[in-house]
Structure 1
Amino acid sequence: MKAGTDLAQIGSLVGDPARANMLAALMGGTALTASELALEAGVTLPTASAHLAKLGEGGLVSVARQGRHRYYALADHSVAAMLENIMGVAATLGPKRVLPGPRDKAMREARVCYDHLAGEMGVAMLDSFVGRGLIRVDGEQAEMSEAGASYFAGLGIDLDAMGRKRRPMCRTCLDWSVRRSHLAGGLGAAMLERIQAKGWARREKDSRVVRFTPMGRREFEMMLRG
């Protein structure tokens, strides 16, 4: 089988408008039912179920049963990264606007990308970590420096547990609204967890928007200044 065959299969799964809307809805990192995804896609429940079956067979979504319900989620972080990159290409090659990415100012500023912080504030966080020598970036590759390991451990992040997982500890993710990279990987997820645990910000209900409190914004900016 030629490699292009696999690419064509994934492209056909993502390229259907209804399935694309379902996958975009799952980018918030929350598992959703078929009924909820049908609403997101604007299709009937039977049609949504058929689409979800194809996405499951293609390895793009996973399903968990809880009681009478089935909850669907993106299969893993690599699928989320692929979708974020596709959104970036679409924003670059699609109809030109003065500002790329989402029209909603709150979505542009801070949002969840699967399980890490994206948008202007996510990009600013990576810029800060790189500028302070905590993370080294070479193209799409990123690694934590010794100074970074000490700093993040001091924040209470369990780097040993993170290192035992198959997921990369540090990874860059092209931010489709800012057209620059934000921090992904295990560390990106851990930083978003910390931001929310500190009460600096919270997820808006039924949205990918991350809303910072005035105090949280000040604390976040102080963290970036080091």
Structure 2
Amino acid sequence: MRNSSKYIIGALLVIVGILTISGNIGIFSLSWLMNLTWPMMFIAISFFFFLGYMSKGPSGAGLLVPAGIMFTLGVTFLLGEVFSYHLVWPAFIASPAVGLLLLYLFGDRSPGLLVPVGILFTIAGTCFFSELLNLWGVLWPGFIIAPAVGLFLLYIAGNRESGLLIPIFILTGIAVVFFSIGTFGYFGRYFKYIAGGVLILAGVSTILKKPSSNRYDDQNHY
């Protein structure tokens, strides 16, 4: 027992020493290694939940919710530490939706679960594309249409109750109106440049346009 302990302790000391020397000579820093390590804890915890579900079977489907959340958080933190949180942070919003979607797919397929799934995924997608394209002023109506997406998924997966279509159409219509206003407002600032370009092209085409044959015949007649 003592012999095995000394080997373990010795190996740990060697690893720590190598990491310390590597950090001092600039190969990689210990802080950088830690930044990559702690997100893996979320992923590791999610695997335990997945294993719990696999051991219990369908009766343990509820474990898929924290499993999906922790896995999504771990991957998001890992990507954020390696690259940047600039575009990956909307995944934090989508993480509960991942867990609920897994519960729906591998659980009792309750249609009500799809309402928050649709809402959260739509909000996350709106944030992602708004951040990617820097069009928050145009794409923000996606927050209005998010409940409509959730209700539409409920309508599709449920009993197709016609009453659900009323709020779906109302929310979608409001979102389309605000989206149209935002789009016209965004591109309206470039209208003067577009109009000027059109006038320039019209003037150049007028100058370069060949005279018609009838006009040429009239000039020869005189």
The answer to which structure has the higher strand fraction is 1
The answer to which structure has the higher helix fraction is 2
Q: Same fold (TM over 0.5)?
A: no
TM range (shorter): under 0.3
